[in-house]
Amino acid sequence: MEEGINGGSMLSLLHRQFGGGEVDIRAYAPLTLAYIGDAVFEIIIRTLIVEKGQRAANTLHRHTTKIVCAQTQAKMADAVYEHLTAKEQDIYRRGKNTKLHSTAKSASLADYRKATGFEALCGYLFLQDDTERIIELVGQALEAVQIEL
């Protein structure tokens, strides 16, 4: 569990402030995991980009959207798949193989499915309060895909 400045992870702080927790993550649909995972992944990427230095907001947005897109996430998923635990691979596969209700306009169905799996894994790890593992995987993926922030 990642400890913040005030003595807790983001998830534990949210639970303390607003209640919640104690939910069986196995009950969450893969698209629900992907929904929260998309936000978690984007906040990590946005933070990394912002910390590289002051830039105009539209420049920050353009740079972020090049990384937080199905095509790049699919490459990242491919890059880290072999480093996932059996449980993480299962969560990724469940996300990747779930029935999709929409697709990305600028990505292939295969890339969109891989990206959904990657986001589901990020969501699962976040809800498991394992931010450290998400950051480790994102770091490995950024390095493997050679993405410059």
Rg from Cα positions in the chain: 15
* Residues acting as catalytic residues: 38
Contacts (Cβ under 8 Å, ≥6 apart) of 37:
95, 118, 119, 120, 121, 122, 123, 124, 125, 126
| pLDDT for 4 beyond 60 | no
pLDDT digits (tens, 9 = 90+) for 9-48: 888 888 888 887 777 888 899 999 999 999 999 999 999 9
Cβ contact 11:92 at 8 Å: no
Other CB atoms closer than 10 Å to residue 9's CB: what's the count?
A: 17
pLDDT digits (tens, 9 = 90+) for 78-123: 999 999 999 999 999 999 999 887 777 788 999 999 999 999 999 9
Architecture per CATH, 28-145: Orthogonal Bundle (1.10)
Nearest one of 97, 88, 147, 84 to 123, comparing CA atoms: 88
- In the chain, domain spans: 28-145
